[in-house]
Amino acid sequence: MRRDHPSAGPTWSLAARLTACYAATSFLLVLLSSGFLYRVLVNNLDREDDEFLADKVRILQALLWEKPDDAQALRQEVEWERRASLPERYKLRVLDDGGTTILESPGMSDLLGPNLFPEPPAFGHALGPGVDVRAPGGRSFRVLTARAAVGPPPAVARVLHVALDRTAEEELLTRYRARLWIVLTLAIALCAAAGHQIARRGLRPVAAMSETASRIRSTSLRERFELPGLPAELFLLAGAFNEMLDRLETSFQRLTQFSADIAHELRTPVNNLRGEAEVALDKTRTPDEYRDVLGSCLEECERLARLIDSLLFLARAEDPQTQIERRPLDVTRELETVRAMYEATAVEAGVQWTVVADCAAHAELDRALFHRAVGNLVANALAHTGPGGSIRLAASFDGAALRVEVSDTGSGVPPEHLRKVWDRFYRADAARSGESGRTGLGLAIVKSIVTLHGGSVEMTSEVGRGTSVSLRFPLSRAPDD
Ligand SMILES: Nc1ncnc2c1ncn2[C@@H]1O[C@H](COP(=O)(O)OP(=O)(O)OP(=O)(O)O)[C@@H](O)[C@H]1O
Ligand SMILES: [Mg+2]
């Protein structure tokens, strides 16, 4: 579909849609109100003409009733417009019961033959509304037919045909309609122009926002949308965008810092490798000397490999697609396994061990990752605890979570470093740890493993007394009691 195609441009602009809707709505309103007014005008004219014709009929009916023999009065009524020198608009015909014309306005039969008139209503029935007819010459008439009684009973019946020339009215309406169309055409143009202006004014903040957005690059992530003066809807949108930019800026800064740290960390082993090789090639050496150089090169390579492995692990852990393989673990047993892995080092360092675990400590965890996290903590504890010190591994349930704690009686971490030790490449004792081959990624890896399990980490420490790191793993299912 067109909309799904990545190269498809926007369809109708918002301004065009608003303009079209506004213009269509206003034009419809103008059209409806003009149509209504026109209809009212036509109805009024019809009613006035009908009243005029009905008046005439009533006058004639009265005349025929009261003065049945006064032909002169009847003739005067028929010819009153001509006598008053008025334009002759009104026509009248009197017919007998059999349909023979007794009297009519001059020239009426040429214009309006009796067949153009409808049947008259029976005596006692109300007069109907007039009927519009068109005379052979093109002139338009409103006609009415009625019955009249000549004198008191036994009366003779007459039929009255009255007609009113409406040609002038019709021309007036034709002119009115023509002007109405002109007004409507102007109205649609004006509505479209006004709608366009309104839409443009309303969307000006959107244009300003898109201009700001188009300026933002990875190098100018500090830029933000101006919030004051924005309409309420856009205020929320721009606020959300600004928050998104805050997050992006922080992530970018972290990435930049991370890249710089990686370069820095890689530089030392690579420089060492190059230095060793240069010294070895400086002059001819004995086989033992070559062996030494190769040995230290191998050490540097191992250090590099460890660093790259840690970086890869962190990169994978950050991928939202990364899945962990949870399976039920007997946490006590797993802690004993980790202890066994580091037993030799502990003995060498003269450090005591204790593993204190709730015997029902079962949880669904990724075994390899759990080992790696606890192993890193144990390695840290061993590295910072001198001979005679002790390390304690503990596991317990805390509500709906498993809490694993690694505590030592070592050197401790100064309070100013406590929050930062979880950052990548951060080493509280950077000067000493450089040469020991530690990279400062151990706790970052621990944190990402716990995060992959949906948990949290915490470190408490006192300089000279020891450190305690606690990992909290929420349980996906309740432990068996
Ligand atoms: N148990 C501890 N006692 C005292 N300081 C600690 C302890 N654990 C961590 N730290 C401090 O926190 C810093 C960060 O630890 P982290 O494990 O991330 O890096 P590292 O041990 O220096 O290097 P890596 O683990 O990558 O070999 C350490 O350099 C150390 O200064
Ligand atoms: Mg470490």
Phi, psi of 449 (to 5 degrees): -65, -45
Tokens 């450089």 identify what position?
434
Q: Do residues 469 and 458 make contact, with C-beta atoms less than 8 angstroms apart?
A: yes
Q: How far apart are CA 410 and CA 391, in angstroms?
A: 9
What's the 424 CA to ligand 2 centre distance in angstroms?
A: 11
Cα 281 to Cα 269, 284, 286: the distances in Å are 18, 7, 12
Adjacent-strand bridge partners of 474:
401
List the residue whose alpha carbon is closest to atom 28 of ligand 1: 427
Letter string b/e over residues 58-81, b meaning 16 or more CB atoms within 10 A of that residue's CB: eebbebbeeebeeeeebeebbeee
List the residue whose alpha carbon is closest to atom 1 of ligand 1: 381
Q: Would you give per-residue pLDDT tens digits along the chain (481 residues)?
A: 344 444 555 677 888 888 888 888 988 998 999 999 999 999 999 999 999 999 988 888 888 888 877 778 878 777 776 666 666 788 889 888 888 888 888 888 888 888 889 888 877 777 778 899 988 878 899 999 998 888 776 667 889 999 999 998 999 999 999 999 999 899 889 988 988 898 888 888 888 888 999 998 888 888 899 988 888 888 999 999 999 999 999 988 888 888 888 898 888 889 989 999 999 998 888 999 999 999 999 999 998 999 999 999 998 888 878 889 999 999 999 999 999 999 999 999 999 999 988 767 788 999 999 999 999 999 999 999 999 999 999 999 877 899 999 999 999 999 999 989 999 888 887 655 555 678 889 999 999 999 999 999 999 999 999 999 999 999 864 444 3
- pTM: predicted TM-score of the whole model, two decimal places: 0.60
Q: Which residues contact 77 (CB under 8 A, 6 or more apart)?
A: 59, 60, 63, 92
Q: For the packed helices 287-318 and 232-282, what is the interaxial angle rounded to 10 degrees?
A: 170
Testing ligand 1's pocket by substitution, the residue of 421, 423, 457, 468 carrying the most ligand atoms inside 8 A of its CB is 421
Q: Which residues contact 155 (CB under 8 A, 6 or more apart)?
A: 149
List the residue whose alpha carbon is closest to atom 22 of ligand 1: 440
Residue ranges lining ligand 1, Cβ < 6 Å: 376, 380-381, 384, 408, 410-413, 421, 426-429, 433, 438-444, 467
Phi, psi of 267 (to 5 degrees): -65, -40
Q: Which two tokens stand for residue 453?
A: 């399990």
What's the 442 CA to ligand 2 centre distance in angstroms?
A: 4
Q: List, as ranges, residues with CB under 5 A of the ion ligand 2.
A: 380, 442
Q: How far apart are CA 235 and CA 5, in angstroms?
A: 30
List the residue whose alpha carbon is closest to atom 12 of ligand 1: 421
Ligand nearest to the CA of 379: 2
Structural domains in the chain plus CATH codes:
16-173 (3.30.450), 232-318 (1.10.287.130), 327-474 (3.30.565.10)
N- to C-terminal Cα separation, the chain: 57
What's the 400 CA to ligand 1 centre distance in angstroms?
A: 29
What atom of ligand 1 comes closest to residue 437's alpha carbon? Answer: 27
What's the 401 CA to ligand 2 centre distance in angstroms?
A: 25
Testing ligand 1's pocket by substitution, the residue of 268, 302, 380 carrying the most ligand atoms inside 8 A of its CB is 380
Phi, psi of 245 (to 5 degrees): -65, -35
